[in-house]
Structure 1
Amino acid sequence: MQVKIRYVPQHKEKGYFLDINRQPTEDCSKAIRFKSPFDDYAEFMMGRYRPDNPLDFWAAPLRIEYDVVDGAVDIRHILEEKLNEHLRKAD
């Protein structure tokens, strides 16, 4: 399993996060994410698309785990079908 920490803007009092369009969201998986609270996050919070009051937010650490699960799907037959369909249209 691979674990990554990302930083998301979270409102200090109300607890909601900001998405990529500066809209509030309760779902942390929809929040805009940054690798570091010092570089990209700070630029976003002070840049053109910053929230109305950037000081009302903090960089909340978000732990993201990547793990391969059972249930892999073999889609070769779908790809072959699509390729054949594409080739027929080209003729």
Structure 2
Amino acid sequence: MPMKNSSFRARAVVPLAYDAAMLEAGVKSYINWRPERQPMLLTTGGTSTGKTYFLSLLMSKIATHFPDATLFLCDYKNMDFRDFADCPRH
């Protein structure tokens, strides 16, 4: 179901990170996230591949672009995101 909040639509494209293949070719091109079309994300990868860093970056981008957003984060190890425990939107 599309979101109808006008402030959401105004910022509906969130630049996440550079596209690695494009960056290797010398082109700085962002991978953009359109939450209205893709409201959920799944982050996977092997050990030490940057998942925690990416999720921290993603949470800061969401907080910047959507100040009224509510975030749900499952930290099964209860270690990687301890720094966010005291955040007002925790």
Normalising by structure 1, report the TM-score. Answer: 0.29
The structure with the largest alpha-carbon Rg is 1
Higher relative contact order, chain-length normalized (CA < 8 Å, sep 6+): 1
